[in-house]
Structures are given as C-alpha cells and as structure tokens.
Amino acid sequence: MISFNQAAVVAHDGATILHPITLSLSEPRVSIIGANGSGKSTLARLINGLVAPSSGSVTIRPGRARAATEHGGATGRDGATELDTVADGTAVRRSVGFVFTDPAAQIIMPTVVEDVELSLRRAHRDVGERRAAALSALARFGLDGFAERSVHALSGGQQQLLAIATVLATDPQILVTDEPTTLLDLRNTRLIGDLLLSLPQQVVIVTHNLELAERADRTLVVEGGRVVFDGEPSAAVAHYRQSVASA
C-alpha cells in the first residue's frame, strides 16, 4: 500500500512541480503516464524517498514481514508497518526498489555478478553466501551465463535485466520503475514489460509505452503537476490520447 496525503513538491525557485495529491495505491500493478515534464517521474520518486515532499506526506505499508519495531515506523490498525518516506527513509529504501530509465545510472561494478553482489553486501556478510545469492538472482532472470562478463558487453535489454535483477535481489516489497523500456527495441520492450507484470511485488511503472500502461490494474494520468485521471487503464489511456490530440 502506497499513500499520498496532500503530498506536494515545490522547487527551490518556488515553482510547483507537483500540486497536493491525496490517494492510496493498493493494486498490484499501477502505471503512470503523462507528457515529459508533467511531474510523473517526481510522483514516482516520492514513493521511495528519492524526492521528499515539500508539504504533506507519503507513506508505505510493506506488510508484516518488516516489523515496525525493526524499522521505527508506526503500526496501523491491521498490524502492518507504516513507513514515512522522510522519517523512515532508510527503511523505505529497503522496502521500495527503484529502477531508472537508463540502467547505466545504477550499474556500478565491472562485472555482472559483482554488480549484484554489491546490492547484497548488507544482507550477506559472508563472501561465499553473497556470491551464491548473486548467482541465484542472475539465474532467475536468465543472466547466469553472463556472471563474469563485463557489464559494458551486455546489450541494452540485458543491462536493463541486470538493473532489475540487482534491485530485486534485495527482495523489496514494492518496485518502482521510471520509463524502463524507453531505451529498448520492441523485443526487449516486451520482454521487460512481461517480466515486470509477472513479479510478486507491487509494481509502479512510469511509462510512455501506452500498451504497457494498459496492462496495469490502475493508471494515473499526470498533467501539469496534477493527477488529472485515475482509474481503469484503457479509459486512462483514452483520456490521455484525447488530451494530447486537443492540445
């Protein structure tokens, strides 16, 4: 569960990037669409604390598995942990994984397996256990044969798979992806889309790919820093197409 409570974002120069938003996202698959500069990426980055709200708040409920006593968050009436993206920032980032448009923004290490191992350094202190967990994560996404390969030798689709594998290796309960297929060809766009929609985590997808957006359970349309439509995906896409056509 992701909740926005009058959450707004204002730039240092006073310009409003996001007007106050209040809504809760509980659906397994949520897509966010809108024009460049509409504020959709800022909305997504509020979810894991990459952007802090200038006013209002954003909270997540990752479930009972991460107890309030462990992370310092509050406990809701249903016993689930409620984490504030500002007050409980570290815990939120452990519970919410984030995948960027360009995998180069998050692939750091020289080889494929080393990159996954880096994300597992807290979960697995033992070097051998860490390597085994990294190889298991790569196998899950069909990258086990590339473990010792340079990350620079991977195709665009393989790099995006690696970025996703690296994030999911830490077992977040929510995954946010910011235009994950923009740099990919049609085949890899479908591959990544199918993968994201098959995950057990709650997934939030910011995308210009309207076909992918329509495969979600719920779609938000962002325009001028406001959520101007919130509902069934095909209706949301139709609304967006109409607004573009009439602009």
pLDDT for position 43? 97
pLDDT for position 70? 43
Q: Give the burial class of 126: count Cβ atoms within 10 A of its Cβ; 0-12 exposed, 13-18 middle, 19 or more buried.
A: exposed
Among candidate residues 203, 209, 204, 164, the one with its CA nearest the CA of residue 183 = 209
CB 95 within 8 A of CB 67: no
CATH class of 2-246: alpha beta
Helix H or strand E encompassing 33: strand 29-33
Residue type, 168: L
**Cα 111 to Cα 121: distance, rounded to the nearest angstrom:** 16
Pure H helices in 96-182: 112-119, 127-140, 156-168
pLDDT for position 132? 95
pLDDT for position 80? 61
**Cα 191 to Cα 136: distance, rounded to the nearest angstrom:** 20
pLDDT for position 77? 44
**For the chain, what are the domain ranges?**
2-246
Q: Per-residue pLDDT tens, the chain, 247 aa: give them.
A: 999 999 999 999 999 999 999 999 999 999 999 999 999 999 999 999 999 999 999 999 986 444 333 445 555 544 468 999 999 999 999 999 999 999 999 999 999 999 999 999 988 989 999 999 999 999 998 898 999 999 999 999 999 999 999 999 999 999 999 999 998 999 999 999 999 999 999 999 999 999 999 999 999 999 999 999 999 999 999 999 999 888 7
**Cα 225 to Cα 89: distance, rounded to the nearest angstrom:** 24
pLDDT for position 217? 98
pLDDT for position 65? 40
